[in-house]
Amino acid sequence: MHLKVDAAHRPPPIADVGDGGGWQFETRALAPDFKHFEVRSLASSNPTVSIFDYIGDDGNGGGVSSSRVAAALRSIGAKPLTVEINSPGGNYFEGVAIYNLLRRHSAPVAVQVLGIAASAASVIAMAGDTIAIAHNAEIMIHQSRGLFYGTADEMTSATSVLQRIDQAMADTYAARTKRPVAEMAAWMRAETYMQGAVAVERGFADTVMEREAQPPVYADASASHPRDPQSLDRMLAKAGMARGARRELFRAIKGDAPSTPTPDLAARNRARIAALTKGL
């Protein structure tokens, strides 16, 4: 017997949070042999979509975008759907779009958290008519964060967007769990991880699956330093470099060094980065 669609059980759609233009979101790099987005058993009465990747464009032509999910749902049609999730999250705006696509699917949506549904992926999970979670899998929720550069006015606007996103997420979690919005907001501030039974107890999932979770496989960061400025900045901050020193370093790397550059500045910068990031 197929599960019936219970639209009232699904949280409301998420609207009016913007399109994420100009925003960048970071998550740990996934190993190439782990990442995939797969649609299986199209010919069956209950096809499966596997979301085992970064949410949104990962910058290298990969990631699970809302356009890929929309195409998958068009090919599936009005059939019950199983959505497997094992994702560390990514772009919140893409996560919202995927959530809204799944939420309005005309047939039942059964979500299975097989490893982790973190950040934007946790929002996607909330679209299920049922949510099952492996006993040692996790759902993680936190406040939105993004990397944004701009004027004072633009930064004020960015703060407003982050607050609006946090409110939308808290409302969605509260609608799914039937718990107070304030409680959701507190858990988000604390960056809360919930393993199988706890996720069920708190209403983020319905049942625990008696199986072992398969955590995402992350890329080996020791092989090379991050190539994008945001990841490098984050690594240097973790290593203890002050913000002002990091800004000076990036100006030097871009060729816009302070007024007293030296001939070996680039070499010293490379050595400085290597020393600071060794062992991270």
Closest CA to 79 of 118, 105, 101: 105
Contact between 120 and 141 under an 8 Å Cβ cutoff? The reply is no
pTM of the model: 0.71
Contact between 135 and 205 under an 8 Å Cβ cutoff? The reply is no
Kindly list the structural domains of the chain, giving each domain's residue range(s) and its CATH number in brackets, ordered by start. Answer: 36-209 (3.90.226.10), 229-277 (no CATH)
Which comes out higher in pLDDT, residue 199 or 21? 199
Range in 68-77, 109-118, 183-192, 215-224 the model is least confident about: 215-224
Contact between 39 and 48 under an 8 Å Cβ cutoff? The reply is yes
Check pLDDT > 60 for residue 24. no
Q: Say what the alpha-carbon torsion angle 273, 274, 279, 280 is, to the nearest 10 degrees.
A: 30
Check pLDDT > 90 for residue 81. yes
C-alpha 95/C-alpha 93 separation (Å) is 5
Q: Which of 16-20, 95-99, 202-206 has the highest mean pLDDT?
A: 202-206
C-alpha 195/C-alpha 208 separation (Å) is 10
Contact between 217 and 33 under an 8 Å Cβ cutoff? The reply is yes
Check pLDDT > 60 for residue 4. no
Q: Buried b / exposed e across 165-178, counting CB within 10 Å, b at 16+?
A: bbebbbbbbbbbbe
Closest CA to 110 of 87, 79, 64: 79
Instruction: Specify the residue for token string 């001939």.
Output: 263
> Can you give the C-alpha Rg of the chain in angstroms?
21
**Section 156-169 average pLDDT:** 87
CA 81 to chain centre: 22
pLDDT score for 276:
45
pLDDT score for 91:
87
Output the six-digit token pair for 29. Answer: 């790099």
What average pLDDT does the structure give for the chain? 78
Check pLDDT > 80 for residue 61. no
82-139: per-residue pLDDT in tens?
Answer: 999 999 888 888 999 999 999 999 999 999 999 899 999 999 999 999 999 999 899 9
Q: Say what the alpha-carbon torsion angle 251, 228, 140, 54 is, to the nearest 10 degrees.
A: 160
Q: Buried b / exposed e across 3-40, counting CB within 10 Å, b at 16+?
A: eeeeeeebbeebeebeebeebebbbebbeeebbebebe
| Residue 243: HSE in the Cβ half-sphere, 13 Å Cα cutoff | 0
Closest CA to 36 of 48, 26, 47, 51: 51
